[in-house]
Amino acid sequence: MLGEGPWEEGADVDDMWLKMATCVRKVASEVFGVSRGGKQEVKETWWWNDEVQRAIKEKKECFKRLHLDKSATNIEGYRLAKRSAKRAVSVAKGQAFDDLYQRLGTKEGEKDIYRIARTRERKTRDINQIKCIKNGTDRLLVKDEEIKDRWREYFVKLFNGENESPTFELDDSFDDTNRRFVRRIQEAEIGEALKRMKGGKAMGPDGIPIEVWRCLGERAVVWLTKLFNLIFRSNKMPKEWRRSILVPIFKNKGDV
């Protein structure tokens, strides 16, 4: 990345950002791979123990090594780790259910049964993919386009209010008497901002986490400083930054 990256300053904000973002995503996909995505199955874990945790972790480590180097040794190592994890899961499940059956007649056993039942009931709710939704008059919508339009209508009212207020165009009334000197953004400011930002946060639509810029070190600080100063001078930010992701979260109230 340090050798391939387009570190020079560009004349256009969009061009400068897209070149770097495309390079980062390309290198990341080559090194780490790309997940298939799609709906993931929520698995029960109430019966997990330390042995299962260790076996699953070992299987994942073997899979990472296999992804980087598909040698015969890594293939065999992953096959054995997968078999060991499957065996550990089977043993842990059997022991957990045996213990549960023995406690069924006790008060603690009743609590366990209700806890498992609540967990399974929550799993039956299809909250990851909304396949139907009600409109403003409680009519059920099942077509994808109608569902999208309903979500769009909901968020427009949520963020803009029920009444649409008129918009006014502002004249460019700045003249030389209103202009003031503003100093350039400094590299030290960018470096300090990167230090203060919290890691492990969800990525935006660009798919680039804060950890990328930290790993690239001083080169990233210099490049980001150039980018932000170019944005400041041109009064434009990259179009990709205008995109955002809204995630409705179900809070166990009302219909799914």
Q: What is the mean pLDDT of the chain?
A: 81
pTM score, whole prediction: 0.55
- Give long-range contacts, CB 8 A cutoff, 24+ apart: 210-214: 212/24, 212/28
Res 172: pLDDT: 53
Cβ count near 20 (within 10 Å): 21
Asked whether the predicted pLDDT for residue 4 surpasses 70, the reply is no
Cβ atoms of 73 and 162 within 8 Å: the answer is no
Q: Which of 51, 121, 59, 118 is nearest to 89 (CA)?
A: 51
Average pLDDT rounded to a whole number, residues 3-10: 70
Residue 187: pLDDT band by 50, 70, 90 thresholds?
very high
Higher pLDDT, 8 or 52: 52
Q: Which of 192, 244, 235 is nearest to 213 (CA)?
A: 192
Q: Which residues contact residue 120 at a Cβ distance below 8 angstroms, ignoring those fewer than 6 apart?
A: 44
The span from the CA of 240 to the CA of 51, in Å, is 45
- Which ranges of the chain does DSSP label H, i.e. alpha helix? 13-32, 50-68, 72-103, 107-123, 144-160, 187-196, 210-215, 217-234
For residue range 32-49, list pLDDT tens digits in order: 777 766 555 556 676 788
Higher pLDDT, 35 or 150: 150
- Give long-range contacts, CB 8 A cutoff, 24+ apart: 210-216: 212/24, 212/28, 216/1, 216/2, 216/5
Q: Measured in whole angstroms, how far is the alpha carbon of residue 149 from the centre of its chain?
A: 24
